[in-house]
Structure 1
Amino acid sequence: MTTPQQFQSSDRRIDLDWVRILAFGLLIFYHIGMLYVSWGFHIKSVHRLTWMEPVMLFLNPWRLSLLFLVSGVATRFMLGKSSLASLAGARSARLLIPLIFGMLVIVPPQAYLQIVESLGHLAGFFDFYTRHYFAFGAQFCPKPCIVLPTWNHLWFVVYLWIYTMALIGVLALWPAGADRLGRKLADMLAGPRLLIVPCLLYAAWRLVLFPAFPSTHALFGDWYNHADHATAFLIGFLLARHEGIWRDVERQRWVALLAAAACFFAFILVRAGLFTPSPALKWAAASAYGCYQWLAIAAVLGFARRTFTADGPARRYLTDAIFPYYIVHQTAIIVIAHQLHGSGLSAGIEASIVIVGTALTCVATYEIVRRVAWVRPLFGLRAAPRTLRRVEQQPA
């Protein structure tokens, strides 16, 4: 049985470390799956595995919002140990250095191979990098018409930095805001309202903002994603220190899971086209999608709090490793998948090679990076490697 003291004695939330690790792990597998479904991606396999799409839809509504919520919790704990100026500096170093490095070094092969597979660009990577990548505008239009340079999967880092800096700006003007709003939000979400109120909010974003502002990850004009992810970030930040809410999350985990399953089932039935389309049906599907987002997040957090209570070397290793994994994984996926084009391999063998190759690339990258002090900040790690003392690092 988990006791409250386990969570009050330290700002280290073992359960949320594991949530972050597993969420990033799911993200890596999700991007591998994008090679095989009918949705757009930077490159595509010749194989189409449409049976994967319901599985991808099961993850898609909540996986990224969950990461932003965990990041909000981590930000609150960091603020308890440092000033606003120190927090701004630490988060900027942790996020902007990897972002810039990633846009200059890690991401360009993704954009290049997308052009190669779309247009057969044969001038070579050096020509692409020097003549096109730093154009600061649309290139190779009308199709695929990529705006270069690009951050691709590193958009998460951009958004997280923006939300953190905006929050710091608000707290600079209203220092008591975090505690005051946190108490009000905790009171508002007490009991069954914990599942109901955020559910209604996420449904509202889906109904009102998504039709007008579909997802772009381009920062400007991406208002649905900002509402979605900033809401999760603020919920995590404001509720981080309210132990009663976390006990409620754990207590209501089964209710959240069953309600999430019902909402997902309703959404899938409509998406599958089993009913005659109508405005009312679209409204119901969007509402079910929005509610599913929050209910799935609540279920994951509740079960994680109950299950992941013990620390160990695997958690300590992966807490540091997962962010470098995230930085390199999509480039590894795209490079490996491109090399397998025309190989004639079955979908199963091809996917296995992509999975194993991506995992090995992530592990090898981290094992090299963590041993070189000046390289570590490029991948979001502190410049000084861990000492024998347990120097813990809050998750992104």
Structure 2
Amino acid sequence: MSAPPIAAATRRHDLDWIRVGAFLLLILYHVGMFYVPWDWHVNSPRPVEALEPVMQLTNPWRLTLLFLVSGAATRFLFERFEAEGKGGARRFAGSRTLRLLPPLLFAMFVIVPPQSYYEVVEAARGLGVVDPAHSPWLADFWMKYATGTGGWCDADGCLTTPTWNHMWFVVYLLVYSLLLAILLPVLRRFLPVVQVGLERGLAGWGLVVWPVVWLLLIRWTLAPVFPITHDLTGDWYNHALSFSAFLFGFVSVRSEVLKAGYERLRRPALWLALLAWAGWATYAWSYRASDVAPPEALRAGMRLVYAIDQWAFIVAILGYGARYLNRGGPLLRYLTLGVFPFYIVHQTVIVVVAHHLAALSLPQPVEAGLVIAATFAGCLAAYEVARRLGRLGLLLGVRPVSRRRAGQRRLEEEPRQALGCAEP
């Protein structure tokens, strides 16, 4: 059986906008993690319980959506390599490694350590250390961090270093991409058949029902046994969720039938998602105390509500994106290239700024506004610096663009700009 011809790569502006929006929303979510009374690297001394339902609005689906969109983008990238000649899977694996591994290592040893530093500072204060910064706990911090010899433990456990913290998403994306590269020589032969099968199986409300069944199945069977840890090796529920979303994005992105299905179901999916969120947020709020356990029947029923929440929001977002976010332009081009460095540095900026602002006892709305403003300013500064570093920009997730390639890109885009469909 010969492989089918690869379709010419096209740009899905709606998915670019959704990817940008999801990453920017993630920044706001992590600002919220400082204020909500959940365990995080650092926490506000003035927690805001009322934020919990707001955080639950995106908590079930935001990363699943990102893996789905990443899988879709991976499909276009692979097709580009295939169109350029032989060795598409091998070149794809090399490209993904070069794009993701340098920023991952740089982040683990340069960007992430301040997060661990302030996590240890706050843990030490919780143990009664008056001046943690000048205590033996934090002497030679980076060396202890890099060699895993810190011995930073409290009643909640020990901090294992070096760590990837929020960069777990990049770790998983790299691993999934390399696994896909192994499967691609065989998988690509069956992509048209798989796409047709998906279009038939997910026709009508099947686009909502069957993914919810899958999400319910893995939440019912795997989540109780393998809680999410982000440690890669034992995170099997998270892998079943994230890798399946990644693969689904990869195999389905070319389907105009499914795209039209998202668009058609966008309104009912949004109402369904909001109802599911209301139910899940009420449940989580009612049983937020650690000493209050829900009845087992209610817990089982809420697994279904959670699965509906997850997928219905994704269907609504993809549907509204397909309907209204189909234009590119300079802003989208700038943000599409910028979201990766934004992602790399944002959590460290939040942790450092929020920790120090908390000591000033400012009015909380002012403090939160300053944290958000400082985070976006820090992300923007990192992006602008990375753009000017040439090959070193890879450490912050910015791929250098040669003058020749930039000139070719401008020549290719001029006809498209005349038609109003320039690609970022």
TM-score by length of structure 1 reads: 0.92
Q: Equivalents in 1 of 2:382, 2:283: separation in Å? A: 43
Q: Equivalents in 1 of 2:339, 2:219: separation in Å? A: 30
Alignment correspondent of 2:358: 341
Mapping of residues 38-53 of structure 1, within 5 Å? 38-53=37-52
Q: Which amino acid aligns with 1:116?
A: V
Matched, 1:291 2:291: no
Alignment correspondent of 2:182: 169
**Structure 1 residue 118 displacement after superposition:** 0.9
Matched, 1:227 2:232: no
Aligned with 1:280 (options 297, 304, 321): 297
Q: Which amino acid aligns with 2:117?
A: Y
Contact 1:325/1:362 (8 A) holds in 2: yes
Matched, 1:30 2:29: yes
Q: Equivalents in 2 of 1:292, 1:227: separation in Å? A: 17
**Structure 1 residue 141 displacement after superposition:** 5.0
Contact 1:24/1:322 (8 A) holds in 2: yes
Matched, 1:86 2:91: yes
User: Which digits, 9 at most, give the CA deviation of each residue in 1:332-390, with x for residues without a partner?
Assistant: 01111122232121211111111111111011111111012022111222222672534
Alignment correspondent of 2:59: 60
Q: Equivalents in 1 of 2:28, 2:187: separation in Å? A: 41
Identity %: 42
Say which SS state the counterpart of residue 220 (structure 1) adopts.
Answer: coil
**Structure 1 residue 323 displacement after superposition:** 0.6
Contact 2:17/2:332 (8 A) holds in 1: yes
Alignment correspondent of 1:201: 214
Q: Which amino acid aligns with 1:148?
A: T
Contact 2:9/2:80 (8 A) holds in 1: no
Alignment correspondent of 1:16: 15
**Structure 1 residue 224 displacement after superposition:** 1.3
Q: Equivalents in 2 of 1:143, 1:342: separation in Å? A: 24
* Residues paired across the two proteins, number: 388
Alignment correspondent of 1:3: none
Change (3 A) 1:277 1:108: closer
Contact 1:371/1:385 (8 A) holds in 2: no
Change (3 A) 1:121 1:137: closer
Matched, 1:332 2:349: yes
**Structure 1 residue 313 displacement after superposition:** 1.1
Alignment correspondent of 2:223: 210
Unmatched runs of 5 consecutive residues or more in structure 2: 1-6, 82-87, 125-131, 414-422
**Structure 1 residue 208 displacement after superposition:** 1.7
Q: Equivalents in 2 of 1:137, 1:246: separation in Å? A: 50
Largest Rg, 1 or 2: 2
Alignment correspondent of 1:305: 322
Alignment correspondent of 1:101: 106
Matched, 1:111 2:113: no
RMSD, aligned α-carbons: 2.4
Q: Equivalents in 1 of 2:357, 2:258: separation in Å? A: 49
Change (3 A) 1:373 1:125: farther
**Structure 1 residue 116 displacement after superposition:** 1.2
Contact 1:32/1:354 (8 A) holds in 2: yes
Contact 1:329/1:362 (8 A) holds in 2: yes
Contact 1:138/1:148 (8 A) holds in 2: no
**Structure 1 residue 172 displacement after superposition:** 3.2
Unmatched runs of 5 consecutive residues or more in structure 1: 1-7
Say which SS state the counterpart of residue 80 (structure 2) adopts.
Answer: coil
TM-score by length of structure 2 reads: 0.86
